[in-house]
Amino acid sequence: MTIVGADDPTFFDGTTTGSVSEDGVLTATDMLTATDRDAGDTAIMAQSNTVGAYGTFNISINGIWNYALNNSAANVQALNAGQTVTDTFAVATAGGVTRNVVISIAGANEEVVNTPPSLAVPSHPTFTDTSADDIFIQANGILVGSDPDPGTTLVYGLSGGTISGGSVSKVGTYGTLTVNTATGAWTYTPDDAAIKALETNSTDPFTVTVSDGQASASQSFNVSIIGSVEDLPPVLGTNGNDTATVGRGNAHVALGAGQDTAVLPMFPDVYSLVQEAPGRIRGTCADYTLTLEDVEFVQFGTYFQTTLAVGDLASGQAKLQLGRLTD
Q: What does the pLDDT read at residue 1?
A: 59
Q: What does the pLDDT read at residue 286?
A: 44
Fold of 11-106: Immunoglobulin-like (2.60.40)
Q: Is the pLDDT of residue 250 over 70?
A: no
pLDDT (tens digit per residue) in 133-188: 788 999 999 999 998 877 889 999 999 999 999 999 999 999 999 999 999 999 99
pLDDT (tens digit per residue) in 92-120: 988 788 899 999 999 987 766 778 899 99
Average pLDDT in the chain: 74
Measure the CA–CA gap between 327 and 323, rounded to whole angstroms: 13
| Sequence ranges of the domains in the chain | 11-106, 118-226, 233-326
Q: What does the pLDDT read at residue 260?
A: 42
* Percentage of the chain modeled with pLDDT above 70: 63
Q: What does the pLDDT read at residue 85?
A: 97
Q: Is the pLDDT of residue 311 over 50?
A: no
DSSP 216-282: EEEEEEEEEEE--GGGSPP-EESSS-EEEE--SSSEEE---SS-EEEEETTEEEEEEEEEEETTEEE
Q: Is the pLDDT of residue 283 over 60?
A: no
Q: What does the pLDDT read at residue 120?
A: 93
313: Cα separation from own chain's centroid = 60
Are 310 and 319 contacting, i.e. CB atoms less than 8 angstroms apart? no
Q: What is the pTM of this model?
A: 0.45
> Which of the following CATH numbers is that of domain 118-226: 2.60.40.10, 2.40.240.20, 3.20.20.100, 3.90.170.10?
2.60.40.10
Q: What does the pLDDT read at residue 39?
A: 58
Q: What does the pLDDT read at residue 112?
A: 64
> Same CATH topology for 11-106 and 118-226?
yes
Among the residue ranges 7-16, 123-132, 252-261, the one predicted with the least confidence is 252-261
Q: Is the pLDDT of residue 73 over 90?
A: yes
Span 77-100, average pLDDT: 90
Q: Is the pLDDT of residue 263 over 50?
A: no
- Residues near 32 by beta carbon (within 8 Å), at least 6 away in sequence: 12, 13, 14, 15, 16, 44, 59, 63, 65, 91, 99, 101
Q: Which residue has the higher pLDDT, 34 or 168?
A: 168
Report residue 41's pLDDT band, with 50, 70 and 90 as the boundaries: low
Q: Which residue has the higher pLDDT, 239 or 68?
A: 68
